[in-house]
C-alpha cells in the first residue's frame, strides 16, 4: 500500500541527489585550472544524459530484475515495462515503483561522474563518452546488482546501506586504474583556481548527502532519521580531523582541507549510515578521514596524477567505511550485527565483499582502457602533452572565455525541474 509521506520523502530525496552531480561539477571546477572549467562541467552533465538513456533502456532492469545466477538481473523492467505506479512488494512496498526507479537512477548518474576527476585534463569528450558508457554497463550495473539487486554479495550478507561499494569503491578503484593506465599530465598544478566554487560545490554535496544516505531507507522513518544524524556527525568529525591533521603537518589549516575532511567523513559513513549508532559514526568519521588524508599524502609522494584525489577520497573512504560497518553495525539500529555485538562473521563478509568489488572494478577498468588503444592515444583518452583543444568542448571559442556564471544559473533551474 502506498504511503504518501514515504512517497513525498523519496521524491524530494531524488531531487536532492540529482543536484549532487552538478554540485560535483562545481566542486571539480574550482579545483582545476581556469581553462578547464567548462570541460569538467560538461563531462559531469553529459554523464547525466548517457546514464539516463542506459537506465531507461535496460540498466535498471539489469540491476533490479529477476536474478540470474547471482550475477545480473533479467530484462523484465527494460524500457519501463512492468514499472508502474503501484508499489513493488520486493523493492518498494510503500512507494510507487516508478519513484524507486527514479531514486536509484540518481545514484547511477553521480557514480561515473566521480571518475572524470581522476583523469581531468586528459580525456577528450568522445573518448570520455565511450568510456562512460562501457563503465556503466560493465562495472556499475553488475556491482549494483551483486550488492543491491539480490546478487551473490547480497546473498552473502554484505551490508552496504547507501553505496560504499556500489558508488565509492567502484568509482575510486576505477579512478586509480585510469590514473595508472592513462598516466600523468606534463604540466601539473594542484592549486585550486577558485575556492568559492569549491566551497559552494562541497556545500551542495553535503546537502545532497542527507538524501543520498537518508533516502536509502526508502521511507520517512526512524532509520532515515538515524541515517541523516550519522551522516552529519561523521562529516563534522571528518572536517575537524582533516583540519587538525593538516594544521599539524603543514602548520596552518585551510578551507580546502575543511571541505575535503567533510566529504571524507560523508564517504566513510555511507555504507554504515543506516546500521551504526551515532558514537560509532564519530569514530568512523575520524578513522576514515585519517586514512583518506594519509593516502592523499602518499599519492603526492609517489607522484601519481590523480587530479582531484578520487581514489584517496572515494576508494579509500568507501573501503574503510564498508570494513568498519562490519565492526560497528548495531542490531538495535537495523538487522545487521557487527563484531562488537558478537558477530565476527559480518566483518569477514565485509572484507570479502570489499575485495571482490575493488579487484573487479580495477581490473575491468584496466582492460577497458588497455584494449582500446585507438581511444587511448593523442586523439583519444590522452591529449597530446597537455595541449588544449582550441575549439573546446562546446564551441569555437576557448573554454576559459565562456562565463562560468551560466553554469551557476543552470543549477537552480535543474533543481526546480526535479522538484516540480
**pLDDT band for position 197 (cuts 50, 70, 90):** very high
Contact 275, 159 (CB under 8 A): yes
pLDDT per position as a tens digit, 157-186: 999 999 999 999 999 999 999 999 988 877
pLDDT per position as a tens digit, 137-154: 999 999 999 999 999 999
Tell me what pLDDT residue 5 has.
96
pLDDT per position as a tens digit, 256-269: 999 999 999 999 99
Model-wide pTM > 0.85: yes
**pLDDT band for position 37 (cuts 50, 70, 90):** confident
Q: Using CA atoms, how far apart are residues 314 and 310, in angstroms rounded to an integer?
A: 6
Q: Where are the domains of the chain?
A: 4-419
Tell me what pLDDT residue 127 has.
87
Q: Using CA atoms, how far apart are residues 220 and 302, in angstroms rounded to an integer?
A: 46
**How confident is the prediction for the chain on average, in pLDDT?**
88
Sequence-separated (6 or more) residues with CB below 8 Å from residue 285? 233, 234, 235, 236, 237, 238, 241, 265, 268, 269
Tell me what pLDDT residue 98 has.
97
Q: Give the mean pLDDT of 288-299.
A: 96
CATH T-level assignment (fold) for domain 4-419:
Ammonium transporter fold (1.10.3430)
Contact 62, 73 (CB under 8 A): yes
What would the grid cell of residue 72 be?
545480473
pLDDT per position as a tens digit, 111-133: 999 999 888 888 888 889 999 99
Amino acid at each position: 500500500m502506498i504511503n504518501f509521506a514515504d512517497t513525498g520523502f523519496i521524491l524530494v530525496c531524488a531531487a536532492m541527489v540529482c543536484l549532487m552531480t552538478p554540485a560535483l561539477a562545481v566542486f571539480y571546477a574550482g579545483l582545476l585550472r581556469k581553462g578547464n572549467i567548462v570541460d569538467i562541467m560538461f563531462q559531469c552533465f553529459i554523464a547525466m544524459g548517457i546514464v539516463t538513456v542506459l537506465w531507461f533502456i535496460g540498466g535498471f532492469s539489469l540491476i533490479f530484475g529477476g536474478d540470474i545466477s547471482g550475477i545480473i538481473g533479467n530484462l523484465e523492467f527494460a524500457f519501463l515495462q512492468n514499472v508502474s505506479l503501484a508499489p513493488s512488494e520486493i523493492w518498494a512496498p510503500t512507494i510507487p515503483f516508478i519513484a524507486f526507479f527514479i531514486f536509484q537512477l540518481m545514484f547511477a548518474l553521480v557514480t561515473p561522474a566521480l571518475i572524470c576527476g581522476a583523469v581531468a585534463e586528459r580525456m577528450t569528450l568522445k573518448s570520455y563518452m565511450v568510456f562512460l558508457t562501457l563503465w556503466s554497463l560493465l562495472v556499475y550495473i553488475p556491482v549494483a546488482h551483486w550488492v543491491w539487486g539480490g546478487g551473490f554479495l547480497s546473498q552473502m550478507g554484505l551490508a552496504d546501506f547507501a553505496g560504499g561499494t556500489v558508488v565509492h569503491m567502484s568509482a575510486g578503484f576505477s579512478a586509480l586504474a585510469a590514473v595508472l593506465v592513462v598516466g600523468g599530465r606534463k604540466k601539473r598544478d594542484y592549486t585550486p583556481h577558485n575556492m568559492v566554487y569549491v566551497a559552494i560545490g562541497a556545500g551542495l554535496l553535503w546537502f545532497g548527502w542527507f538524501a543520498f544516505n537518508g533516502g536509502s531507507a526508502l521511507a520517512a522513518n526512524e532509520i532515515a532519521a538515524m541515517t541523516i544524524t550519522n551522516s552529519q556527525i561523521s562529516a563534522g568529525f571528518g572536517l575537524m580531523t582533516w583540519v587538525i591533521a593538516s594544521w599539524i603537518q603543514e602548520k596552518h589549516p585551510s578551507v580546502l582541507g575543511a571541505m575535503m575532511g567533510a566529504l571524507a567523513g560523508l564517504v566513510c559513513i555511507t555504507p554504515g549510515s543506516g546500521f551504526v549508532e551515532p558514537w560509532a559514526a564519530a569514530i568512523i568519521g575520524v578513522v576514515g578521514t585519517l586514512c583518506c588524508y594519509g593516502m592523499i599524502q602518499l599519492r603526492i609522494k609517489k607522484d601519481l596524477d590523480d587530479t582531484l584525489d578520487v581514489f584517496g577520497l572515494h576508494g579509500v573512504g568507501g573501503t574503510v567505511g564498508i570494513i568498519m560497518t562490519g565492526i560497528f553495525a548495531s542490531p538495535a539500529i537495523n538487522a545487521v550485527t557487527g563484531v562488537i555485538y558478537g558477530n565476527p562473521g559480518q566483518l569477514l563478509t565485509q572484507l570479502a565483499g570489499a575485495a571482490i568489488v575493488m579487484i573487479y572494478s580495477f581490473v575491468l577498468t584496466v582492460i577497458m582502457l588497455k584494449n582500446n588503444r585507438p581511444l587511448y592515444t593523442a586523439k583519444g583518452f590522452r591529449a597530446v602533452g597537455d595541449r588544449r583543444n582550441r575549439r573546446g568542448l562546446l564551441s569555437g571559442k576557448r573554454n576559459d572565455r565562456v562565463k562560468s556564471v551560466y553554469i551557476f544559473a543552470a543549477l537552480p533551474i535543474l533543481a526546480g525541474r526535479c522538484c516540480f
